[in-house]
Amino acid sequence: MAIVEAIATAYLEEGVEPNDTFGVEFTGIPATYENLRLIVSPRSPNNTDAGHLHIQFGTGGGAVDTGANYDSHYQGVSGTTILGGSLLNSGKIILYDVVTGRKALAERFGAVEILISDYANTNKNTTTMGWCGLRTTSASKRNMQYGGCWDNTAAVDRIKIIPNTDGYARGTSYTLYGEKSS
């Protein structure tokens, strides 16, 4: 049996989603893996160069937690500007500027990888680590790293991924992998 398994894939091919609260949601995630890894190739119809990606977690078969129980941190380079910052006690983990928007060149999508470590361990809060690289126009390019925390020790069985505005553009894809440790 493979050590790394694809749990689910969502590929948006039906065109632009009109609902700005639309999110892709993976449910029923088993607790049988050591880590989860999420690979996202996102683009939004939002009239920006790049927008944010939001992540929420759920447990026990219930809905995702939308309370102010998430912390986010980032660092990286945008153009030649070095960035660093945090957002605390928010309703979601935020990955800044990873979803290319309408002002980005055509066919430019973000590239995002998110590691969710030991997500089923009930003695730990759920922490994430991710990074992205994208070049939206000839002048705009980013290389960013992200840390996140869900202030809850419950085992994660649901993940929701939401763009900050205007849904996703056609061609956006998400794949969730599980990584075993035995």
Given the rule CB under 8 A, which residues bind another protein? 2-4, 34-35, 71-75, 82-86, 88-89, 93, 115, 117-118, 121, 123-125, 127-129, 131, 145-149, 151, 153, 179-182
Q: Which is nearer to another protein, 61 or 84 (CB)?
A: 84
* The two structure tokens encoding residue 74: 């980032």
Nearer to another protein, 103 or 180 (CB): 180
Q: Which is nearer to another protein, 122 or 137 (CB)?
A: 122
Beta carbon of residue 39, minimum distance to another protein (angstroms, whole number): 14
Given a contact cutoff of 8 angstroms between Cβ atoms, the answer to whether 91 and 56 are in contact is yes
Nearest approach in angstroms of CB 116 to another protein is 8
Burial code (b: 16+ CB inside 10 Å, e: under 16) for 32-69 equals ebebbbbebbbbbbbebbbbbbbbbbbbeeeebbeeeb
Which amino acid type is present at position 46? N
Q: How far, in Å, CA of 114 to CA of 79, rounded?
A: 22
Rg of the chain (C-alpha set): 16
| Least distance in angstroms from the C-beta of 109 to another protein | 22
Minimal distance in Å, beta carbon 96 to another protein? 12
Closest to another protein by CB, 16 vs 77, is 77
